[in-house]
Amino acid sequence: MAFIVQATGIDAIKKMLKTKSNITDAFIVALAGNPNTGKSTVFNSLTGLNQHTGNWTGKTVTTAQGKYQFKDKSFTLVDLPGTYSLSSHSEEEEIARNFICFGSPHATIVVTDATCLERNLNLLLQILEITDKVVLCVNLMDEAKRKKIWIDLKKLSKILGIPVVGTSARSGEGLEELMHTVYKLCHNQITTNPIKIKYNEKIEELIQITEEKIAKFTNRKISSRWISLKNIEGDKTFLDSLDKYLGIDSAKILPNEEVDLNLRDQLVSSRVILAENISSQVVSCKKEKEYDFDRKVDNILTSKILGIPAMIALLGIIFWITIVGANIPSTVIAKMLFGLEERLTALSVAYRLPNWLHGTLILGIYRTLAWVVSVMLPPMAIFFPLFTFLEDLGYLPRVAFNLDNFFKKACTHGKQALTMCMGFGCNAVGVIGCRIIESPRERLIATITNFFVPCNGRFPTLITISTIFIAGADVGPLRTVIATITITGIIILGVIMTLVASKILSKTLLKGLPSSFTLELPPYRNPQIGRIIIRSIFDRTIFVLGRATAVAAPAGLFIWLMANTNVRDLSLLDYCAAFLQPFAYLLGMDGYILMAFILGIPANEIVMPIIIMSYMASGTIIELESLAALRILLISNGWTWLTAINVMLFCLMHFPCATTLLTIKKETKSWKWTLVSFLVPTIAGIIITFTVTQISRLSKLIV
Amino acid sequence: MKGKNIPLHMIACGKSAKVKELTTAGSLRRRMLDLGLVNGTIVEAIRKSPSGDPIAYEIRGAVIALRSEEASKIIVDVID
């Protein structure tokens, strides 16, 4: 029997994880817990797999898995989505519940927040009703100590009847003991005797009746008490899964009575009260001290008067630091790389390389790559760590708190503020993040409008143009200030456009009212500077730069070939640009720029390099030794401040990149909504640049 | 605002209240119960967001923001 149990368990796991890897030889350990308990930090510390952990609800929407070795055994750790409960009102809860129920993990680690144990126990108590192979990991012990909260772990373990380990995953404290405990549990060296929740007489009676009926069908693969409880709750999704994974058709076996809402309340209440009871026995704290610091900070960051200005100021400071800091390294790198270009050219002359080869390799591929690196690397290396810092601190949920009312007025879900923030990293990630929104209508709106916040790939374009062009005329400190204000303004415009587009969609294509939601404001956490730098450099900067160079190299080649293949004195590039010119002119840009955006569909990072390439290849031969030279190049190609503004606006609002579009297709499973996601920002961009251009021209602000 | 049987979103910031009843059904009710909003739970209104809504409450040690639509379905007695 045991063998069959294992086999079905692993099949279920494979099904859930969609994996073909051979995981039969390792112990399977599920990692469950509330959001914001440092669960992902535990996961990363144990497996070394660098999965990004954000300090907000619902970051892990799909399960991640990683391996670790302890003593002679290997363990496969499955990071379940963070949930407060297993009663499945959401996709995340269903994933977590199904894995623990039907995946038959050898052990389950439940990660809890030491500073908020009572609330976390609710989930643990539910898991204990499913399985007794549980280790409780009380994480964030360091935070608790700082907040003067003490937890009697021995007593807790005695009350719960399961092993309890205190950890501070960020510093690695207690993880060795955790692994050891899991090891012993998997080898049956620890016997657990989990606490049973006693419900009132009526419920217990019902449980008994149901248990008797179901017991002979379960083959002891699953707790019949748990099935009975779910049946009383009338949890349909669970009963469906029961059929799907174990072939138990509960509808035929179980009494199908009307769900008694009162009983359901009592079920939950019994758990909550037990959690309160346990927590009061093991937690002691110095009264009211604990929230002081967080509250003081929140008094400023989410206050009526200062909340929104503080948010804008923080954003502004980040951009200012980025712009000021990136200036010098950008110039240095550019000098270096273009110095190298000269040498390469000299070499190719010396070795008598044919002109076309020199052209494609050095003027095409190398030059584009050099631009991508020198223009993009420094701002990214500064911007990403700063943004990750805010993320780690726990500031993003406060952004959602500050902006929620606007989203409510746009008839959308409050979590859209969070998916919008994820979009700052990468729009494709933002789109995937939209899964945390349960209502399909609101999820679609969040998906379609996600592109209105600029991602990693578009920030460098915005930063470059505002630094060298908008602010270029002034010298000194004013220059960076103007650039900062411009970028911050663009971002605010992006947020406003998100809201406007959401509102319009809510009133037209996707009519409806906002659904309910609750937003947790987790405690501020001490960000770990070292980790932030490593993570943002490796996970983000290198990733984005890698993607950009991978796309830029062939694009550079392609552009160079187009620029140098002449038909009747004009290059192919000129023909294309000339074709787009009339339309581009209406939008205050030129044909080359519009073509760069179109060619930039694979990755937005290369839009700026393509523009530069096209200008350089089409006749105006100058040596670009510094960033200041770029300004001269742009001006000599007819750029004015209006062109710069329009390029930035269009960069903010145009068709999403290929990755994002494919992700949207995958998530919505519909070409129609993918097309809508393509059209909405594009139309918005065209209307806005057209309006800005026409007004400026009519009012004779510019010729 | 003082008194008994009032919706949660009406209580002033800094005030605490005891949950008496949830006037909602379905998944929202479940979610509220999961947050620990069972009868007798003490809830403190901490702060309003800049535009007045949502409001952040302390519920069993966690800070949770609720829109007025949701909070209005939680009936409480104000504690002086």
What tens digit of pLDDT does each residue of A8-63 get? Answer: 445 555 555 544 444 557 888 999 998 878 888 888 888 875 454 443 344 444 56
Which residues of chain A make contact with B19, given a CB cutoff of 8 A? none
Inter-chain contact B54–A405, Cβ cutoff 8 Å?
yes
Q: Where does chain A hold its CATH 3.40.50.300 domain(s)?
A: 2-186
Class for the domain spanning A201-285 = mainly alpha
Let me know how long chain B is: 80
CA–chain centroid gap for A230, Å, is 33
Name the fold adopted by B6-79.
SH3 type barrels. (2.30.30)
| Nearest-by-Cβ selection for B50 from A117, A268, A307 | A307
Name the residue with higher pLDDT: A21 or A347: A347
For A514, the token pair is 């906002």
pLDDT value, residue A605 = 76
Angle in degrees, CA A429, A646, A686, rounded to 5: 70
Residues linked to residue A70 through DSSP beta bridges, in sequence order: A73
* Span A416-432, pLDDT tens digits: 888 888 787 778 878 88
Interval A469-497 mean pLDDT? 80
Name the fold adopted by A2-186.
Rossmann fold (3.40.50)
Distance from C-alpha of A49 to C-alpha of A185, rounded to nearest angstrom? 24
Which residues of chain B make contact with A519, given a CB cutoff of 8 A? 54, 64-65
For an interface test with B, which of A97, A197, A272 has the most B Cβ atoms less than 10 Å from its Cβ? A272
Which residues of chain A make contact with B47, given a CB cutoff of 8 A? 298-299, 302-303
Interval A455-466 mean pLDDT? 82
Residue with tokens 């006749």: A619
pLDDT value, residue A177 = 94
**B73 to chain A: nearest residue by CA?**
A516
With contact defined as beta carbons under 8 Å apart, do A161 and A194 qualify? yes
Least confident of A490-499, A517-526, A676-685: A517-526
Least confident of A61-75, A106-120, A123-137: A61-75
pLDDT value, residue A52 = 45
Which residues of chain A make contact with B46, given a CB cutoff of 8 A? 295, 298
pLDDT value, residue A444 = 93
Least confident of A15-24, A306-315, A628-637, B45-54: A15-24
Three-state helix/strand/coil letters over A668-693: HCCHHHHHHHHHHHHHHHHHHHHHHH
- Identify which of A134-138, A166-170, A622-626 has the greatest average pLDDT: A134-138
With contact defined as beta carbons under 8 Å apart, do A193 and A99 qualify? no
Q: Where does chain A hold its CATH 1.10.287.1770 domain(s)?
A: 201-285
Dihedral of the CA atoms A488, A491, A497, A498 (nearest 10)?
A: -140
| Nearest-by-Cβ selection for A308 from B25, B38, B50 | B50
Which residues of chain A make contact with B74, given a CB cutoff of 8 A? none
Inter-chain contact B63–A521, Cβ cutoff 8 Å?
yes
Count Cα neighbours of A72 within 13 Å in the Cβ-side half-sphere.
1
pLDDT value, residue A290 = 52
Distance from C-alpha of A336 to C-alpha of A34, rounded to nearest angstrom? 50
For A144, the token pair is 């608790």
Inter-chain contact B47–A299, Cβ cutoff 8 Å?
yes
* Span A379-402, pLDDT tens digits: 778 877 887 788 788 888 888 888
Which residue type is seen at A444? Answer: L
